[in-house]
Amino acid sequence: SGLQVFSPESRRLSAETIAKHTPEEGLIYISGSERFVESLRHELENDYNVPHERIIFDFFDGYHDL
């Protein structure tokens, strides 16, 4: 258990990378622009079957293009 922080090799964080490196019952915290966060949340839930309850997120106000 405990907090696990990782830095992806590519510059863009992907749902695949998150799903691959997160323990099955681990919480996932995503912070960034609304578009970025919603995109990752959608992929995690739909493509990697991560339950909504395991995804915690917030948006950076004013950052629409990240």
Q: Give the Cα separation of 24 and 27 in Å (integer).
A: 9
Does residue 59 surpass a pLDDT of 70? yes
Residue 2's pLDDT is what? 59
Does residue 61 surpass a pLDDT of 70? yes
Residue 11's pLDDT is what? 63
Cα 57 to the center of its chain, rounded Å = 8
Q: What is the mean pLDDT of residues 17-23?
A: 89
Q: Give the Cα separation of 40 and 50 in Å (integer).
A: 11
Does residue 47 surpass a pLDDT of 60? yes
pTM for this prediction: 0.75
